[in-house]
Structure 1
Amino acid sequence: MSRLVLLLQAGGIASAALRFACSTISIQRLDPIVEPGRIPSGHVHQIVGGNAFNATMEGDIGERGTCTTCAYTEDFSNYWTAVMYFRHENGSYKRVPQYPNAQLGSDGSDAPDIKGGMTVYYTSKDFNSNGNQFIRAFPPGFRMTVGSPTANTVDYARGHPGLRYTCLQTVLTRGSETTEFPTKPCPAGIMAIHHFPACWDGKNLDSPNHQDHMYTTTKGGFAEAGACPTSHPVRVAQVAYETMWDTSVFKDMWPKNGKQPFVWSFEGNGYGTHADYLFGWKGDSLQRALNSTCMFHRCGSPGVQGVLKTQTAEEMNKCAVRNLVVEQTDGWLVELPGQKMVPMRFRG
């Protein structure tokens, strides 16, 4: 029996879709995928997930963590992106605060009390059906990235429909996605969106550029993905992040010349947005969920019994990791951490 057939038999034909919150576990310069072992890494990241996060991460992460900042207690994966900064007219920088999804409070109500972080999705063909496709959970040790901090052209952005921004008119605004940072102040902030590829080659847990073992068929948003090619035949869940950045706190500091003032922590414009994923679900917990028919809160949430175990926002917020890089990443900074090899000075 072929390896592919075995993989398909391990998957499920169902209509599961996971959406859950993860609070912030760390904001520091570490990147165990792109820069393993380097302390510090090149630019600041905001990280959520399990407390096994470190400068180097190998093997089955799901068996190493003892707590997680994600709502599902069996998810010790790590999810991270660059950090957004506001660049003042005087040249100084300040980190943009994050806030949680307004629909993902500790009890699934509209009263969130989660510490920053992001919303994570695992979706199938679409929100209603997988069709006749088997959706395979990732194996231990799996990792991938999407986007690139070196990207700086609109053509690159247009060619990656899974990487987008939404100018939030309210905390519940969705749709109306753009390829670059919004050019006008957004009343409720900016949502950064990262959709990962959902077609795997079925063999490699990683690749030299952390992307070639995957193939994207996303059409943007949560539109139905296209068929996987023969080079990457194994259909896995499509992972997506939504990070809510509260840019509204800088509305009275918008530059007089009207220039868009936000940058990523690598001093990059919106075209260089990127994200990293390191699988760490414990045992077969993710596969069980993918094999089910649960949708969002019905997969498990406080007060709702589902296929997955959950924890409260208070428990999520308690999980932490030690900062291996001792430097200031917030407050008014003369320069972005890691972007100039000179002693840092701070204002305010």
Structure 2
Amino acid sequence: MKLTPLLLAGTANAALRFGCSSLTIQRLDPLVEPGANPSAHLHQIVGGNAFRPNMTGDIGASAAATCTTCTFSEDFSNYWTAVMFFRSPSNGTYKRVPIMQNTALPNGINGGMTVYYTQQDFSSNGKQKITAFKPGFRMTVGSPTTGSLTAAKGHTGLRVELLMKGKHNSCWDGKNLDSPDHQSHMYNTAREAFQPAGPCPASHPIRMPQVAYETLWDTTGFNGLWDETKDANPFVLSFGGSNGYGTHADYLFGWKGDSLQKAMDSDCMFTGCENGKPLKSQAVREMNRCSVPDMVGEDVDGWLPSLPGVGSMPMPMAKA
């Protein structure tokens, strides 16, 4: 399906879709557990190489970054989510599931995720000014402690499959760059990811971009290691959840200067925003070259006796 921008008098309606290769996969979470090394569970992190265990303060992620794993070379933000594991039905050991290439993106991106910045939806900004996030802005969506579909629908706006999308709230209170729960300074007006957003309430009057993450987990390498007619679901997330309701995502803004605002004020769409129109972009080899050192020092790639930081889970019930 071809997505065509709808131009509105006096407004613009850009939509960004771009890849970010993996920056690192470590047990770190500078928003929820600032300074903890290691944090409670494993995350996959993309974006600027200023990522570290403690990123408190309002300087923004771009201040110390020298490279980014994202397509847009002016985006030094950090984006992170939980990681998926396969749990062997035969012996209970765990193996991290690799990430698939998104065929809608340039070939060769190393792991990572697809990131979206949309406005009211993919083809309209609802004739509203879309205000870019500010330096030091941060937020989360979802919670690893969410254990039911009802609770997940009540506050996250997440759609979870093996393809996971985490949509962040789109209305800002105009005052706080963060809040104690990393969520209440924002308000969610969209019922589903990428759907038209409702009006911002008086308590959160400033419309900001809707942000979504998309990760494709390649489960095919485990096809011969379980019997889907007999075994329970062997795929679990790094915080210990197997139903997906606790999927969560973190965002720390780090776009350089007014680059994101320029994009939101434009009428570009997807790859049409690259190569200085209006955003600077970089080749896949440059994205893949950016990294940060291992700050935790634990094996996350071999067959593991337990989930890093979480421990072993009770074996799931086999299918009748």
Q: Normalised by the size of structure 1, how large is the TM-score? A: 0.83
Offset of 1:45 from its aligned partner?
Answer: 0.3
Asked if the contact 1:86–1:262 (Cα under 8 Å) also holds between the matched residues in 2, the reply is yes
Secondary structure of the equivalent of 1:331?
A: coil
- Higher mean C-alpha deviation, range 332-341 or range 16-25: 332-341
Asked if the contact 1:69–1:317 (Cα under 8 Å) also holds between the matched residues in 2, the reply is yes
Q: How does 1:1-348 map to 2 (within 5 A)?
A: 13-57=11-55, 58=57, 59-89=59-89, 90-105=91-106, 112-160=107-155, 162-166=157-161, 190-255=162-227, 257-269=230-242, 270-301=244-275, 305-340=276-311
1: CA distance, partners of 2:193 / 2:75:
24
Asked if the contact 1:161–1:219 (Cα under 8 Å) also holds between the matched residues in 2, the reply is no
Offset of 1:261 from its aligned partner?
Answer: 1.1
1: CA distance, partners of 2:182 / 2:156:
19
1: CA distance, partners of 2:79 / 2:113:
9
Q: Cα deviation per residue 1:278-322 (whole Å; 9 max; x = unaligned)?
A: 000000000000000000010015xxx510011010000000101
Ranges of 4+ aligned residues in structure 1 off by more than 4 Å: none
User: How many residues get paired?
Assistant: 298
Letter of the 1:158 counterpart: K
For the aligned residue pairs, the C-alpha RMSD in angstroms reads 1.5
1: CA distance, partners of 2:156 / 2:174:
24
2: CA distance, partners of 1:101 / 1:193:
13
2: CA distance, partners of 1:250 / 1:226:
42
Secondary structure of the equivalent of 2:224?
A: helix
Asked if the contact 1:100–1:119 (Cα under 8 Å) also holds between the matched residues in 2, the reply is no
* Alpha carbons of structure 1 residues 161 and 140: separation in structure 2 relative to 1, 3 Å: closer
1: CA distance, partners of 2:88 / 2:226:
8
Offset of 1:162 from its aligned partner?
Answer: 2.8
Q: Which runs of 5+ in 1 are unaligned?
A: 1-11, 106-111, 167-189, 342-348
Offset of 1:94 from its aligned partner?
Answer: 0.5
Letter of the 1:154 counterpart: L
Secondary structure of the equivalent of 1:317?
A: helix
Letter of the 1:290 counterpart: M
2: CA distance, partners of 1:206 / 1:216:
15
Letter of the 1:312 counterpart: A
Offset of 1:161 from its aligned partner?
Answer: 6.6
Q: Normalised by the size of structure 2, how large is the TM-score? A: 0.90
Asked if the contact 2:99–2:218 (Cα under 8 Å) also holds between the matched residues in 1, the reply is yes
Q: Cα deviation per residue 1:128-184 (whole Å; 9 max; x = unaligned)?
A: 111221100000000000000001112113335731134xxxxxxxxxxxxxxxxxx
Letter of the 1:21 counterpart: G
Asked if the contact 2:30–2:53 (Cα under 8 Å) also holds between the matched residues in 1, the reply is yes
Secondary structure of the equivalent of 1:149?
A: coil
Secondary structure of the equivalent of 1:333?
A: coil
2: CA distance, partners of 1:326 / 1:152:
30
2: CA distance, partners of 1:43 / 1:194:
18
- Higher mean C-alpha deviation, range 259-268 or range 48-57: 259-268
Q: Which runs of 5+ in 2 are unaligned?
A: 1-9, 313-320
1: CA distance, partners of 2:11 / 2:191:
22
